[in-house]
Amino acid sequence: MKSNNGHFDVIVVGGGASGMMAAGRAAERGKRVLLIEKNKLLGEKLRISGGGRCNITNAEYDVHALLGKYGSAEHFLYSPFSQYGVEDTFSFFERLGLPLVVQARKRAFPNTEKANDVCEALKAYMKKSGVTIQANSAVKKILHDGTRVTGVATAAGTFTAESYILATGGMSHPETGSTGDGFGWLSDLGHTIKKPTPTIVPISVSDSWVHMLSGTSLSFMKITFFLEGVKQFSKTGKVLFTHFGLSGPLILNSAGKIGGLLEGGQVTARIDAYPDTDIGALDKSITKIFDASKNKMLKNIFKEVVPEGIAPGVMSLLPDIDFDTKVHSITKEERRRIVDTLKALPVHVTGLMGYDRAVVADGGIVLDEIDTKTMRSKLFSNLAVTGDLLHITRPSGGFSLQLCWTTGYVAGSNA
């Protein structure tokens, strides 16, 4: 990887998903491109995405349904997604020798299921296009004359170009270098920056029964959240118990709402372990199990009563019931307490886990200040902004990386 203190057509700051896409695309058009990255390796965050499998995109081909996932940013995104959409992402990686496979909830992964392969494919794309890479070079300052960016000052020297693309990422996973540098630079340039909050994150809870089930998941359950005891919203899906609280798709995609509730007071939740079964039917089902095992110890048959793996946690919530007694000694009232508990497992939320565990953090430059047809700043005509630097909320499931591919491509096409 070579350094070049000369003048370039395009300088891209940030070697993540959108930065590599933007650099490769601009060079593909015949531009002399320099990519500056502060880490030794490109794509540090990309390498850990999707648990190391890399959820490249979501195979939602209905553009209205797709863009509806981006909340209030939807109407800003029709132009860039008309230039480069989900189908283009499939074709792009296919051309790079890395076809995609679609799994549950339309999530698309490289067929190797290795995030590192995605990084290597993008590096090969840039090499073929002729991108110059300046790695291990932290940017100190973005230079400008008030209307145009004039240079990028780094420890390795100052680099200049006709056009610049900022692709430094947001604030999720700071250990990979996503420390929000770009937000500061954009603010210094006079742009309005929405303060970031971690939006797709696990939640911390104080309940010991949750902590003791760390590593266990419920593939189908319903969780209802309350603010100061008043019901707010419910969701159904998969939940993962952890040593600090709750995670899994359902929780990650609810974190933004939960964060908002936490600003208003105490947040609690109730988990319904059997959302498709009402209390009466569940009582009958458990009674049937009890009748078939009258002379067995309750603790020995309890795993037949509850979803797999959560028996220890549920038992800890019922300290007044003697699990060392035989089933025929369990009273009707005790059986009903078991039923009621399974329909409303108590959770006390203490907070969101923060940037270190965030899948995505929102915040960034407000879209009113970006021409999303080109991804250019409306304040600096030769500056484009991509990916997580944009204030766009989105759920997990491939939508964040698709935003990176799209905005990176459009910025690289118009630089």
CATH number of the domain within which 233 lies:
2.40.30.10
Domain count, the chain: 3
Whole-number average pLDDT of the chain: 91
124 and 245 part of one domain: no
Which residues, including other chains, have CB under 8 Å from residue 40's CB and lie 6 or more apart? Answer: 135, 136
Side chain identity at 190, as an amino acid letter? Answer: G
Q: What whole-number distance in Å separates Cα of residue 372 and Cα of residue 378?
A: 10
Count CA atoms closer than 13 A to 44's CA, side-chain side: 18
pLDDT surpassing 60 at residue 4: no
Quick check: 3 pLDDT over 60? no
- Here the CATH number for the domain that contains residue 31 is 3.50.50.60
**Domain C-terminal end among 311, 337, 355:** 355
Contacts of residue 322, defined as CB under 8 A and 6 or more positions apart, other chains included, come to: 298, 329
- The string of pLDDT tens digits covering residues 83-120 is 999 999 999 999 999 999 998 779 899 999 999 999 99
pTM of the model: 0.70
Q: Residue 225: is its pLDDT beyond 80?
A: yes
Q: Which amino acid is at 250?
A: L
Quote the CA–CA distance of 127 and 122 in Å, as a whole number.
9
Asked if the structure places residue 229 within a domain, the reply is yes
252 with 322, same domain: the answer is no
C-alpha 349/C-alpha 212 separation (Å) is: 16
pLDDT at site 182: 86
Q: Which amino acid is at 356?
A: D
Q: Which of 321, 345, 369 is the last residue of a domain?
A: 345
Q: Could you tell me if 58 and 185 are in contact, meaning their C-beta atoms sit under 8 angstroms apart?
A: no
Where residue 43 falls (left for φ over 0; alpha for ψ -120 to 50; beta otherwise) is left
**Domain hosting residue 253, numbered range:** 199-275+347-355
One domain, residues 332 and 387: no
Cβ neighbours, 10 Å, residue 92: 22
Q: Is 126 part of a structural domain of the chain?
A: yes
Residues 194 and 205 in one domain: no
Q: How many residues does the chain have?
A: 415
Residue 219's pLDDT band, with cuts at 50, 70 and 90, is confident
CA distance 282 to 266: 30
* The pLDDT of residue 36 is above 90: yes
Of 196 and 163, the one with more pLDDT: 163
In the prediction, which pLDDT does 170 show?
60
Considering the domain architecture, whether residues 287 and 269 belong to the same structural domain is answered as no
User: What is the DSSP code (8-state) at residue 6?
Assistant: S
221 plus 189 within the same structural domain:
no
Predicted confidence (pLDDT) per residue in 272-281, tens digit = 999 999 999 9
* Mean pLDDT in residue range 365-373: 97
Looking at the fold, whether 188 and 217 belong to one and the same domain comes out as no
Q: Which residue has the tokens 């319903």?
A: 222
Q: Are residues 50 and 190 in the same domain?
A: yes
The sign of the dihedral angle between the CA atoms of 21, 19, 72, 382 is negative
Q: Are 181 and 169 in contact (CB under 8 A)?
A: no
Residue 2: inside a domain: no
Is 1 a domain residue? no
Cβ density class 189-219: b for 16+ within 10 Å, e for less: bebebeebbbbbbbbbbebebbeebeebbbe
Q: Are residues 89 and 190 both part of a single domain?
A: yes
Distance CA 283, CA 123 (A): 59
Q: 194 and 218: one domain?
A: no
- 161 and 51 both lie in a single domain: yes
Q: 114 vs 52, 55, 399, CA distance in Å?
A: 6, 10, 18
Residue with more model confidence, 23 or 55: 23
Same domain? For 140 and 129 the reply is: yes
